[in-house]
Structure 1
Amino acid sequence: MSFMKKHLKTLTIALGCSAGAFYLGWQSPTLMGDVFEQQQVAQPTPRFYPLERFIISVPGKEYQHYVLLELALKSSSANAKHQLAEADPLVRNSLMKMFAGKQVDELNKPKNLEQLQQEAKDLLTNVLSANKFAVKIDDVLFTRLVIQ
């Protein structure tokens, strides 16, 4: 009998521990909070900020040409609208200098468009940063480019 009581007692303790471990494993997210849940960071939605059109003169082989440029800046920064509005003269001046330094042949080739957009993005990123504007430019999109 004592042998049976001893094993029954051991079996009861083992079952109790197993049930307790199962319960804790099942309820751990509830008991311990969100430690076990995967945290999702909300990605800010990119927004587009169109600039007023530019008309820039660029040198050609025989005579001056005019470029009509419309573009938009893409940014995910929360404060982009305000920062870009304040930096508008700086942005426009930087882009005008960049395009005024180009030859018409550089601008007339469709394959150069992506390179020009990247160059404008790099330029604006550096200029805004150097002037303490806390806005990140994700992309520069030319929405219209007319050369005469």
Structure 2
Amino acid sequence: MTKKQLSVIIAVMILVSIIISAATFTGAVLYMKNSDPNATDSMSQMFSFNSEPKPAQPSFHQLEKLVLSVKGQRQTHFVMLELAVETRFPEEIQEIDNYMPVVRNSLLKLFSNKTYEQLQQERTIDSLQEEVKNTLLDAFADTQFAKHIDDVLFTKYVIQ
């Protein structure tokens, strides 16, 4: 057998191998589509390089209670906050309790710029809740938590 004949045989073997692989893949896709109506979702998940799909129901993780001081015109006041983190990946948020010093520090910085009078204004809770969410997302920017926090909810908010 000459080198030319050997090269032709190897090229034919590679071509046949590619054709068989393509046919097998196409057959598997068609089989999965015909056997399960949700197969297109499973196929896109199987061959997707994106992160895992979000579960349908949100989950809530309660954080420790925080007591912060704020300046008033005549005296110092206190704000007590209880927060819950909304997530669709509860298993990814379990370790957030170990980061409470980060949460406390970032919220202490946020509330140090607030006054009692500002916090007493009407419709403050909605804007404050958004500020707290953004503050926590910034604080967790370098961790895996940031991408799994959907919302931050106030479960208790007391100004004294």
TM-score (norm 2): 0.64
Paired with 1:63 and 1:30, the residues of 2 have a C-alpha distance of: 72
Matched, 1:55 2:67: yes
**Which residue does 1:90 correspond to in 2?**
102
Matched, 1:99 2:111: yes
**Which residue does 1:141 correspond to in 2?**
153
Paired with 1:145 and 1:113, the residues of 2 have a C-alpha distance of: 9
TM-score (norm 1): 0.68
Paired with 1:30 and 1:59, the residues of 2 have a C-alpha distance of: 67
Gaps spanning 5+ residues in structure 2: where?
A: 1-26, 43-52
Paired with 2:77 and 2:104, the residues of 1 have a C-alpha distance of: 19
Paired with 1:116 and 1:40, the residues of 2 have a C-alpha distance of: 38
What is the aligned residue count? 117
Question: Residue 63 of structure 2 contacts residue 97 of structure 2 at CA under 8 Å; is this kept in 1?
Answer: no
Tell me the alpha carbon deviations over residues 80-132 of structure 1, each in whole angstroms, 9 at most, x when there is no partner: 112x1232211121112212221112211240111111111111111101xx2
Residue identity over aligned pairs, in percent, reads 33
Matched, 1:121 2:133: yes
Larger radius of gyration: 1
Gaps spanning 5+ residues in structure 1: where?
A: 1-28
TM superposition shift of 1:31: 9.2
**Which residue does 1:79 correspond to in 2?**
92
CA RMSD of aligned residues (A): 2.4
Runs of 4 or more consecutive aligned structure 1 residues displaced over 6 Å after TM superposition? none
Question: Residue 124 of structure 1 contacts residue 137 of structure 1 at CA under 8 Å; is this kept in 2?
Answer: no
**Which residue does 2:31 correspond to in 1?**
33
Paired with 1:115 and 1:67, the residues of 2 have a C-alpha distance of: 16
